[in-house]
Amino acid sequence: MPVRHDHWIGGKDERPAGGAYLPTVDPATREPGDEIAAGSAPDVERAVASAVRAQPEWARRPGAERSETLHRIGDAIEANAGELMELERACTGKTPAQLRMEADMSAAYFRYYAGVLRAHGGRTIDQGAGHHTYTRFEPYGVIAAITPWNLPLNQACRALAPALAAGNAVVAKPSEFTSASTLHLARLAAAAGLPDGLLNVVTGTGPDAGAPLAAHPGVRRITFTGSVATGRRLAGRRRRPARPGDAGARRQVAPGGVRRRDLDRAVAAAVAAVATNAGQVCSATARLLIESSVHDEVVARIVDAVGGLEPGTDFGPIITEDQFRKVLGHFDAARAAGLTPVTGGSAYTDGAAARGRYIRPTVYAGVPPSAPVAREELFGPVLVTMPFTGEDEALARANDTDYGLVAAVWSGDVARGLRLAERIDAGQVSVNGGPLTIETPFGGFKDSGHGREKGIEALHEYGQTKAISLSLG
Ligand code: NAD
């Protein structure tokens, strides 16, 4: 019998009102895995009611107390990382290194916002003698956190830590394909001292559990990461803007003013874009703009390097069957349009990898900018290269996309790198490998989302400013 996971509501397991459970699958083997509760509107109702009850007392606590609790949740994630990683592995097939990195970052989100919270406050406004005017940072109340399947625990923590820090309660709705780690996180948080009702998890599909949660009048704000279509739907439905997280992305690497060392690092970054989570990362730098003079050399080096990547060791499978079919569909469409990859372009058909949803690392070189593979988010282990001549052409190509989440520029000429970084329409730009971390605000321009996650900016997304003015006369 498969293990069954119930909802987590009000600090305890709750069976789904409809009595049904959904299957999950290990994408590395296609073997059936645990089952999760198939949530529906009555389950959402209970979870929101529980959050509404718990939130005011949490918001009244001094920031230092909330901070202590968040620190303890960070410690609990670290101490129980093995269990969390195993739950995540079972429904994503991720590699051990990928799982470890995500678990470490998950703990770090709680520690970061525990610290930021203690240094955060309002301000006083000088209106002359006889008046005392100041601002307070206040929570919204109940936040809905709707998260996708690519980095399940990590993306839950990215939203939950600042939301709880700001004094909100949360109802989380993880992806129906990857819910177990978020459920276990909620259990660990309760054991670490988070009061019951502050973090509830309702599992189930988007239409059956996500939609009633997003529409619930008790929910004051939504944080969402996933597809552009769902993000738009949720944004349209709310009185307040939803935050379609980092829905959809486009990203560029533009080596220019070439030095050997920059080329080495740019090639390594391109290979990492394929290997990291098998390209299922919204910030993967997978659309490569390469100066014509070095284009063929860079492509040859990338092809050589990705040829050495081993499925199951260096990169994992595609997490959902839909996404697996979608990536293969992109290959079919490219073939029909006369494009041939220089490497890859198919799923594995022999060996252990053929049992799972593994796709060969794939490179399309010298692709026309209008080709769908150069314009759409492929969300798989696929790189697309386009040559350019001169800075203006690089910039025009980089900005010729509906998306704008993350870009990376590689150049031996630092001034040129910064000039490009300032003119690229993206929420984050790394120049010559500059780190983008929890401290750096993350979010998209154009179709890549509203609002910011990470950094101090994310805390502001989960609180609102109140001005209070007192006459002393
Ligand atoms: P999705 O938008 O359907 O799902 C994301 C989350 O939203 C899930 O929890 C889902 O259950 C929920 N959801 C779906 N419909 C909903 C609705 N009507 N109301 C409320 N919640 C709803 O995304 P997907 O199908 O998982 O992936 C589709 C595409 O999105 C992928 O091919 C990829 O290109 C992109 N994607 C992006 C990210 C990212 O981090 N930017 C992550 C996953 C997928």
Quick one: which of 300, 314, 395 has its CA closest to 360?
Answer: 314
DSSP label at residue 463 = E
Q: Could you report the per-residue pLDDT of 325-374, keeping only the tens digit for each?
A: 999 999 999 999 999 999 999 999 999 999 999 999 999 999 999 999 99
Residues with Cβ < 8 Å from 98, sequence gap 6 or more?
A: 276, 277, 316
C-alpha dist (Å) from residue 180 to 122, 156, 187, 198: 38, 12, 11, 18
**Is residue 442 in a domain?**
no
**Is residue 443 in a domain?**
no
Residues 427 and 462 in one domain: no
SS3 sequence of 59-93: HHCCHHHHHHHHHHHHHHHHHCHHHHHHHHHHHHC
Residues 294 and 417 in one domain: yes
- Which two tokens mark 434? 């500059």
Ligand 1: centre distance to CA 121 (Å)? 34
Q: Angle at CA 219, nearest 5°, toward 203 and 456? A: 95
Ligand 1: centre distance to CA 175 (Å)? 8
Residues 240 and 366 in one domain: no
| Banded model confidence at residue 145, pLDDT cuts 50, 70, 90 | very high
Task: Determine which helix (DSSP H) or strand (DSSP E) holds 362, and give its type and residue range.
Answer: strand 362-364
Q: Whose CA is nearest to atom 27 of ligand 1?
A: 227
| Banded model confidence at residue 93, pLDDT cuts 50, 70, 90 | very high
Residues with Cβ < 8 Å from 396, sequence gap 6 or more?
A: none
Quick one: which of 458, 463, 465 has its CA closest to 55?
Answer: 463
Q: Whose CA is nearest to atom 26 of ligand 1?
A: 148
* Ligand 1 proximal residues by C-beta, below 6 Å: 146-150, 173, 175-176, 205-207, 210-211, 214, 225-227, 230, 233-234, 246-247, 282, 323, 326, 377, 379
For 446, the 3-state DSSP assignment is helix
- Which two tokens mark 226? 């996933």
Residues 205 and 255 in one domain: no
Residues 380 and 460 in one domain: no
pLDDT at 249: 38
The CATH number given to whatever domain includes residue 275 is 3.40.309.10
Pairing of strands 124-125, 131-139: antiparallel
Residues 315 and 218 in one domain: no
Question: Residue 204 CA: which ligand 1 atom is closest?
Answer: 11
Residues 53 and 153 in one domain: yes
Q: Whose CA is nearest to atom 38 of ligand 1?
A: 226
Ligand 1: centre distance to CA 110 (Å)? 24
Ligand 1: centre distance to CA 378 (Å)? 14
Residues with Cβ < 8 Å from 470, sequence gap 6 or more?
A: 131, 132, 133
| Dihedral of the alpha carbons of 358, 364, 369, 373, in degrees to the nearest 10 | -20
Domain span at residue 106 reads 4-247+449-468
For ligand 1, mutation pick of 102, 181, 230, 321 (most atoms within 8 Å of CB): 230
CA atoms of 449 and 248, how far apart (whole Å): 8
Ligand 1: centre distance to CA 411 (Å)? 35
Residues 395 and 305 in one domain: yes
**Is residue 473 in a domain?**
no
For 473, the 3-state DSSP assignment is coil
Q: Could you report the per-residue pLDDT of 405-426, keeping only the tens digit for each?
A: 999 999 989 999 999 999 999 9
Residues 307 and 321 in one domain: yes
CA atoms of 189 and 69, how far apart (whole Å): 9
Domains in the chain, number:
2
Q: Whose CA is nearest to atom 37 of ligand 1?
A: 226
Residues 393-403: b if buried by 16+ CB within 10 A, e if exposed? bbbebbbebeb
| Banded model confidence at residue 242, pLDDT cuts 50, 70, 90 | very low
Ligand 1: centre distance to CA 432 (Å)? 31
- Which two tokens mark 461? 């997304």
Ligand 1: centre distance to CA 303 (Å)? 31
Q: Which residue has the tokens 């230092």?
A: 64
CA atoms of 289 and 394, how far apart (whole Å): 7
Number of helices (H), then strands (E), in the chain: 15, 18
Tell me what the mean pLDDT of segment 192-221 comes to: 98
The region, left, alpha or beta by phi > 0 then psi within -120 to 50, assigned to residue 279 is left
For ligand 1, mutation pick of 40, 146, 216, 359 (most atoms within 8 Å of CB): 146
DSSP assignment of 146-175 equals: E--SSSHHHHHHHHHHHHHHTT-EEEEE--
Ligand 1: centre distance to CA 179 (Å)? 13
Residues 432 and 314 in one domain: yes
Q: Which residue has the tokens 């949720």?
A: 234
- Which two tokens mark 375? 């314009």
**Is residue 361 in a domain?**
yes
**Is residue 319 in a domain?**
yes
Ligand 1: centre distance to CA 163 (Å)? 20
Tell me what the mean pLDDT of segment 115-128 comes to: 96
Tell me what the mean pLDDT of segment 197-208 comes to: 98
User: Interhelix angle for 81-92 vs 152-165, to 10°?
Assistant: 130
Ligand 1: centre distance to CA 326 (Å)? 14
Quick one: which of 345, 351, 279 has its CA closest to 315?
Answer: 279
**Higher per-residue pLDDT: 258 or 462:** 462
CA atoms of 357 and 93, how far apart (whole Å): 9
Q: Whose CA is nearest to atom 35 of ligand 1?
A: 227
* Assessment of whether the complete model's pTM goes beyond 0.85: yes
Question: Residue 379 CA: which ligand 1 atom is closest?
Answer: 34
Question: Residue 245 CA: which ligand 1 atom is closest?
Answer: 41
Q: Could you report the per-residue pLDDT of 293-337, keeping only the tens digit for each?
A: 999 999 999 999 999 999 999 999 999 999 999 999 999 999 999
Res. 137: pLDDT tops 90: yes
Q: Whose CA is nearest to atom 16 of ligand 1?
A: 206
For ligand 1, mutation pick of 40, 227, 320 (most atoms within 8 Å of CB): 227
- Which two tokens mark 116? 């930021």
**Is residue 349 in a domain?**
yes
Contact predicate 126/213, CB 8 Å: no
Q: Whose CA is nearest to atom 22 of ligand 1?
A: 206
Tally the C-alpha atoms within 13 A of residue 7's C-alpha that lie toward its C-beta. Answer: 33
pLDDT at 2: 83
Burial class (CB in 10 A: 0-12, 13-18, 19+), 179: buried
Q: Which residue has the tokens 């309702």?
A: 202
Contact predicate 203/36, CB 8 Å: yes
**Is residue 444 in a domain?**
no
Residues 347 and 393 in one domain: yes
Ligand 1: centre distance to CA 247 (Å)? 8
The CATH number given to whatever domain includes residue 242 is 3.40.605.10
pLDDT at 219: 98
**Is residue 265 in a domain?**
yes
Residues 190 and 269 in one domain: no
